Structure 1
Amino acid sequence: MSLKTGASRATGESPLHTLLTGAQMLFVAFGALVLVPLLTGLDPNVALFTAGVGTLVFHAVTGVSVPVFLASSFAFIAPIQSSVANFGIPATMGALMAAGVVYVLLSQLIRVRGTALLHRLLPPVVVGPVIMVIGLALAPTAVSMAVGETSEHITTGAAMLLSMSSLLVTLVLAVFGRGLLRLVPIMGGIVSGYVLAMLMGVIDYSSIQQADWFAWPDFVAPSFNWAAVLFMIPVAIAPAVEHIGDMVAIGSVTRKNYLETPGLHRTLLGDGLATCTASLFGGPPNTTYSEVTGAVTLTRAFNPWIMIITAVIAILASFVGKLGSLLQTIPGPVMGGIMTLLFGSIAVVGMNTLVRAGKPLTSPRNLVVVSLILVFGIGGMQVGGGQFTLQGVGLAAVVGIVLNFVLPRSEED
């Protein structure tokens, strides 16, 4: 029995309908999926491959029970950019594998002690500002790309036109879009910006013409550097905690409690192993995609086997050489315009984490924890030296965790 036929029987739909539904899920995730490698210098075809393989790993661990698709994590954009610049791609992949191991260890901690310990170790007063740092630390990069500082052949005026046009389309789709259009604002912004860049004549097509239709993705094996590992591990904290919210969100859509069955320890284990697998090939770390959760809500496609179809399509698409070359011709200002909204929205997610916790931020303890996380994370401070340097998001996470343990808790906490 073929995969497509098996999935069709599980969903009660025709094989063609199941195939189209699976392809639609990839379309929804595609814009965000390729955005991370394009911003961090990784191969977008590798990201497609590792998203598909990572999703298969996740479903193998969870018994094909949760309708989610895993792909490139936004939370790691800034750390990957910094790590690639300082240590190179192979060492960055080794560091990301270590981050995946953190997920695995957390999953086993949850299996033994339950979720209460995780909430005590990483409360919203720590996780919220760390997420804010992830978004705000990238703001200068977004502005630099939007005004054309990273594109020598595009004038500032042309860059602003491209970036603001892409941003406008993304905003309109996100706020006013209906149905499927509301789920693909990033894709819409990239496509509209690319078309405008074509009309302006600022795209170089030579790489597309030279690329083969079939080509192996540019896989990169990991290497291990202690400095890179220590820099990356703290970054895993925020996405690991967000994983709980993702499982609750998809559970509310399907009316199932995935924290109990298959269990949070299994879903987090699947996420961690998917990230470890991605790093073996040179891809960005994986996370569950809220865009796909939105598509599941809209289409009522609750059967997890559809995500298996999506994963297989992603793997097959990764071997289309011209696709990767096409993606790499997207002008920097187009990406910069979308990034200004994307990175701001990451910061808002962190802010919302604090608001939902309902804790008074002006209380002495919370004020100290939140303010120091923000200043240490955004201010560019470095601690240590040589192989043991901490800075940025990693430093912010460590500071938050230490302060959360050291400072006395109020009776309310």
Structure 2
Amino acid sequence: MSYDSIPSKATLRPETFTAHVSDQELDDFKQLLKLSKLGPKTYENQNNNDERYLGIKREWLADAKSHWETKYDWRRTENRINSFPNFTVKIEDINVHFVALFSKKSDAVPLTLLHGWPGSFLEFLGVCDVLKEKYSEDDLPVHIIVPSLPGYGYSSGPPLDRDYTVSDMARIIDQLMTGLGFGDGYVSQGGDIGSFVSRILGGQYNACKAVHLNFCIGAPMPNRDDPMKGLSDVEKRGLQRANDFNTLGNAYGRMHGTRPATIGLCLSSSPLALLAWIGEKFQVWTDTDPTLDEILDSVTLYWFTESFPRAIFPYRQFFSAQPALLHADPKLKIEKPKALGYSYFPLELAPVPKAWVEQTGDLVWYREHTEGGHFAAMEKPKLFAQDMEDFVKEVWKK
């Protein structure tokens, strides 16, 4: 397979991986889905007013259930996953899965792309497609490494005998990147939980030379007396969206952070319940709704890998009595000679103004988009891929 040549400097020895569930698992899933009961009609799930406040609609869930049962093809998704080089490698207690596009270009820049919840490595497959169409493995200007974060997808869950945090995630990702032969330097990109992991990598690990974010929630405002001072109309609208999220849209996060055992067990009992919980986020947090198959791809991956209950542990840090504000932590400021980049997508769930991001590091690259939301790489893969190319080209030459 092309793009699968592990760098000669690698000290890790990853094994190839193939995504596949057995026919029995697939049959059991379809039977359980068929028997999953759709809840009764209520005022809230019949009302077509602002979905940010009222949640998933019963009609949408009923249609999605029918499609999932009768038309959706998980084998097609497995084939898509397996069309890319997939690997697993043991690092500490974690069996780490990653998709890669390894370049044979001698000066290719290592770039890791880090997802969050309810995302997965699937978010970045469209970006990989864009790069494969544009470059051969001989002239690809970057090595693309797309891990499943610990607890997510095909990576194993955190240890059962101790607490685990995004700092542990960052340590694992740094060992992955340096162990693949990139100890001289790499770039980390992150959205959602991946943004916090990238922040820690840039702030604490020497091999991470630059960080690009499309999510910077919690960044400190430069002027607390007049937070709107100097902001554009686009940024003001973005802050209103952020306020809506903070006041009316983060109940899920509080549940993840304060009752992870309860919600984890609840959503592991029914694929339909998992779809309702995750499907709402893909509708509300995006610019335009993804296709139903794209949503079902993500939910089905969570179901077969049993990753929901073992993936939400980072929320304990962010929705506790003393929440971690990593993007505002002065110890994690991305300072020279390291570099910070930021892509602004207006339908991000909490778009942060450029001036606020500048408080968190040496912001040497910035681009404001007129479209795109929380799952930017999945929603706008061509825009996202171009941002990655342009950012890496700008920072690496320095």
TM-score (norm 1): 0.26
| Greater share of strand | 2
Q: Which has the higher contact order (CA 8 A, sep 6+)?
A: 1
TM-score normalised by structure 2 residue count: 0.26
Q: Return the structure number with greater helix share.
A: 1
